[in-house]
Structure 1
Amino acid sequence: MSDSIPSAPSTDANARPVDSSERVILLDVLRGFALCGVFVSNSFAWFSGFVLLPREQSQALTSPPLEAVVTALYHFFVNQKFVTLFAFLFGLGFAIQLQRAEARGASVVPLYSRRLGVLLGIGVTHLVGLWLGDVLSSYAVVGFALLLFRQRSDRTVLTWVAVLMLVVPVVVPVLQHDVPILLQGAEAATQAAKAREALDVRMKAQLLEGLSSGSFWTTQEANARFLTHMLPQTKRVVWMGVILGRFLLGLLAGRLLLLQDVERYRAWYRKMILWGLVFGVLGNGTWLVVQRLRVAGTLDPEKDVWMYALPAILELGFLGLASVYVAAFALLFQRERWKRVMQVLAPVGRMALTNYLLQSVVSLCLYDGWGLGLMGRMPPSRSVALALAVFALQIPLSHAWLAYFRFGPAEWLWRSLTYGRAQPLRRAANEAPAQVAS
């Protein structure tokens, strides 16, 4: 960031990509760590086809003791924690961009809007052309809503966080359940709900069949067909609201310089670990208990009213453990020995977009029918191990790439399209790779 603010507002022409010396390396490390968890989650649930399998088949894969343990550990420590962390870092990145724009005396809106527009294009290409689980397009769309909060007070932002993450996920399912009963009657509403559930099962079966086929074009057709079914659903709108809530938490953290000035917030971080563990254990423990009760047939989500509070309880659990990860990384990063170990992830975080897209390409080659065809055949432990192995290879590849180039290839494209001109990619002959700084 600039050391001083210009006396007169500057134009957007003065905007430029962040220099290596201006990067907050802890954010790159956390982004690399989050990317690893997101990849494990995507591999466990989607790339492997696990969430598309009939219940009997998925239960068979998780019934051996090792697989049951891996599945429980995944749901407790990984599921939704790393996407929460990733979204938090996205919002924090917006706060840093806003601060840099204010330091130049410029508006963040034009540049930020172009960045999101380009990201949306990349995300839609990824969504339609490769994998329906793309998150980039959703981040880009929701990212525009962040502009509405750039001048709002911290209290207002925090209020919206609570509404979007804790209130809306509870209220919307209640309305979805009760309003049809009031309008159509209980029997008609029940039949309609069963029809929707049956349609979901059929669409998942069709998607699994398409992805397991030996034709790339058949898989893309199945991908597109499932997208038309998935995109209009109300739960997707609720999910995007939750994403905005996570973005806003990152915005607040960026305003407070929470990760830029760790020493100042040491006491906060210790409290975050304590309370994060409390909420994390309660929230995620509740989910595990609920799942066991449902499998045993002693819990009926339709009849037990308290189940409507489950989304809020789960979200507190996701936030709790995600905050533990952030606080632990921040505190450990202040110790020189840990810092040397953890900063190995920084290049992966700097190339997060490239690595995210590469993970999709590699996973489709491994799991889809036109590739190695592992979909529906891999137990959870092997899916997790395979994801970790691929990620482990991305670490030295990221180091090697950034030793010669300034950006990852996808990041270079993103920046070049954003600024309307090709950015210098290759490092000059006398230019040393960026050093990892505190």
Structure 2
Amino acid sequence: MARTADIDLLRSIALIGIAVVNIPFLAGPPTLARQVGVDAVAQFLVEWLFQGKFFILFSFVFGWGFAVQIASAERAGQSAMRRLGLRLTGLAVLGIAHGLLVFAGDILLLYALLGTGLLLLRNAPLRVLYRVMAAGIVLGIAGLAVLGAVLPELLASLPPPPASGGYRGGLVDSIAQRTSEWPSAFAFVLLFNGPVAFAAFAAGLAAARLGILERGSPLHARLDRALPLLLAGGLALNAIYAMSMSGLLGEGLAALAGFSLLAVAAPILSAAYLLLILRAARFWGTPEFLARAGRMSLTCYVLEGILAGIVFNGYGFKLYGAVGAAGCLAIALGIAAMTHVIASGWLRIFKEGPLEILLRRWTRLADR
């Protein structure tokens, strides 16, 4: 159970999807208003194919990585609890800094908090992990139902973005705006991402035990047979979610149910994406350039937000609130490509990304 190019490829593709989802939140104030024309098409496609899916892939690999870290600590004769506890503490500090300085919708702090729960499950039998996965989905439905019920009124109560200052101002103004938004943004992330992320953590831990991500696993044939059903079902169910977001289901109970359905729909489509990526890697190999960003995924995740700040905020190109969904999609893909280029260049000189080096050194304090 060692790090492989396939794992890096999964992380790298997840980073692309996360950029596509996050960039609109960095590009302008939150709103439920729908866009028109090509922007409406782009908005629907992002909600259908990207939103809520790629953070699950990232979370799944996080759970798998947890198992690798546990095995590494045990081989070194070190306490997995102490080493991973320090790692999660370091991740929490990075998450707080990221939330205040780069992106109020940060997920790293949530990962650190949920990782504490996963640490308690590190020796749990598979049947317990399966129950945790199911419970996470159920709680995810409940969390989305609560969020869907309060979100319209919450967004309507927000003051309009300032004509100057805030994200349209300098770096200090942007940090002040982000600091004021961070508590409510974290509450949103907790409800929208939290339960399903923890279910994906447990799934990744179980997958590591079963060897699902290892080349030649006997489970691959069985999973490949399930792929068409997962893909068809995932696309259909996520289309219902996208329809609820676009207003095609109205504003009543049907819309709320469609929104809450994401907690079921997104994991199904994410599983299909996972199997498609693994199948492609088995047949055609893993493109080295594409996988490199996955080797420094923590750094690249933060870098995506930094680059987006330069594009949209007042200390950069001043495009905040001026770009529609289609433009955001193009910018997100461009930023993702740029992070891959930067990662490729960095890894020609260093073995790890800068934040990975920092987190590893902090974690290894547990070995002293």
How far apart in 1 are the matches of 2:235 and 2:279? 21
1:69 to 35, 41, 63: 41
Preserved contact between residue 348 and residue 394 of structure 1 (Cα < 8 Å): yes
Which residue in the other structure is 1:256 paired with?
Answer: 210
How far apart in 2 are the matches of 1:280 and 1:37? 16
2:7 to 27, 40, 48: 27
Q: Deviations for 1:103-127, whole angstroms, at most 9, x for unmatched residues?
A: 4454311111111111111111111
Which residue in the other structure is 2:115 paired with?
Answer: 143
Give the Å deviation of 1:401: 1.5
How far apart in 2 are the matches of 1:176 and 1:41? 18
Which residue in the other structure is 1:285 paired with?
Answer: 239
Which residue in the other structure is 1:85 paired with?
Answer: 57
Say if 1:347 and 1:313 are closer, same or farther in 2 by CA, change over 3 A.
Answer: same
Preserved contact between residue 207 and residue 222 of structure 1 (Cα < 8 Å): no
Which residue in the other structure is 1:358 paired with?
Answer: 303
Give the Å deviation of 1:382: 1.5
1:276 paired with 2:230, answer: yes
Q: Deviations for 1:25-64, whole angstroms, at most 9, x for unmatched residues?
A: 1101110111111011111x31112x62472xxx3xx311
Preserved contact between residue 368 and residue 375 of structure 1 (Cα < 8 Å): yes
Moved more, 31-40 or 364-373: 364-373
1:213 to 159, 168, 186: 168
SS at match of 1:80: coil
2:320 to 335, 355, 375: 375
Preserved contact between residue 89 and residue 112 of structure 2 (Cα < 8 Å): yes
Q: Deviations for 1:47-83, whole angstroms, at most 9, x for unmatched residues?
A: 112x62472xxx3xx311x222222221111111111
Identity %: 26
1:334 to 259, 282, 289: 282
Counterpart residue type for residue 326 of structure 1: L
Preserved contact between residue 128 and residue 223 of structure 1 (Cα < 8 Å): yes
Say if 1:278 and 1:197 are closer, same or farther in 2 by CA, change over 3 A.
Answer: closer
How far apart in 1 are the matches of 2:49 and 2:163? 27
1:392 paired with 2:337, answer: yes
Which residue in the other structure is 1:345 paired with?
Answer: 290
Preserved contact between residue 170 and residue 313 of structure 2 (Cα < 8 Å): no
Preserved contact between residue 53 and residue 205 of structure 1 (Cα < 8 Å): no
In structure 1, stretches of 5+ residues that fail to align are 2-21, 178-192, 422-438
For 1:129-278, list aligned pairs within 5 A: 129-165=101-137, 167-171=138-142, 198-203=153-158, 205-206=160-161, 211-231=166-186, 233=187, 236-237=190-191, 239-278=193-232
SS at match of 2:320: coil
Which residue in the other structure is 1:52 paired with?
Answer: 30
Q: When the two structures are superposed, what TM-score results if normalisation uses the length of structure 2?
A: 0.89
Which residue in the other structure is 1:109 paired with?
Answer: 81
Preserved contact between residue 207 and residue 223 of structure 1 (Cα < 8 Å): no
Q: Deviations for 1:293-339, whole angstroms, at most 9, x for unmatched residues?
A: x35xx7232xx3x555445532222112211111111112122xx21
Counterpart residue type for residue 52 of structure 1: P
How far apart in 2 are the matches of 1:40 and 1:176? 22
Preserved contact between residue 278 and residue 320 of structure 1 (Cα < 8 Å): no
Which residue in the other structure is 1:427 paired with?
Answer: none
SS at match of 1:151: coil
Counterpart residue type for residue 63 of structure 1: V
Give the Å deviation of 1:240: 1.9
How far apart in 1 are the matches of 2:145 and 2:345? 52
Which residue in the other structure is 1:313 paired with?
Answer: 261
Say if 1:126 and 1:174 are closer, same or farther in 2 by CA, change over 3 A.
Answer: closer
SS at match of 1:205: coil
Counterpart residue type for residue 190 of structure 2: R
Counterpart residue type for residue 16 of structure 2: C
Question: CA RMSD of the aligned region, Å?
Answer: 2.8
SS at match of 2:317: coil
Say if 1:308 and 1:288 are closer, same or farther in 2 by CA, change over 3 A.
Answer: closer
Counterpart residue type for residue 246 of structure 1: A
Q: Deviations for 1:125-151, whole angstroms, at most 9, x for unmatched residues?
A: 111222211111111111111012112
Say if 1:397 and 1:331 are closer, same or farther in 2 by CA, change over 3 A.
Answer: same
1:405 to 319, 328, 350: 350
Which residue in the other structure is 1:120 paired with?
Answer: 92
How far apart in 1 are the matches of 2:17 and 2:143? 29
Moved more, 133-142 or 104-113: 104-113
Preserved contact between residue 283 and residue 315 of structure 1 (Cα < 8 Å): no
Give the Å deviation of 1:360: 1.2
Give the Å deviation of 1:290: 2.8
Say if 1:348 and 1:208 are closer, same or farther in 2 by CA, change over 3 A.
Answer: farther
Preserved contact between residue 71 and residue 380 of structure 1 (Cα < 8 Å): yes
Counterpart residue type for residue 71 of structure 1: Q
Say if 1:216 and 1:400 are closer, same or farther in 2 by CA, change over 3 A.
Answer: closer
How far apart in 2 are the matches of 1:163 and 1:207? 42
How far apart in 2 are the matches of 1:416 and 1:87? 23
In the comparison of the two structures, how many residue pairs are matched?
A: 366
Give the Å deviation of 1:272: 3.6
Preserved contact between residue 84 and residue 246 of structure 1 (Cα < 8 Å): yes
Q: Deviations for 1:246-272, whole angstroms, at most 9, x for unmatched residues?
A: 111111111111102444222123134
Counterpart residue type for residue 164 of structure 1: G
Preserved contact between residue 52 and residue 204 of structure 1 (Cα < 8 Å): no
Say if 1:225 and 1:234 are closer, same or farther in 2 by CA, change over 3 A.
Answer: closer
Q: When the two structures are superposed, what TM-score results if normalisation uses the length of structure 1?
A: 0.76
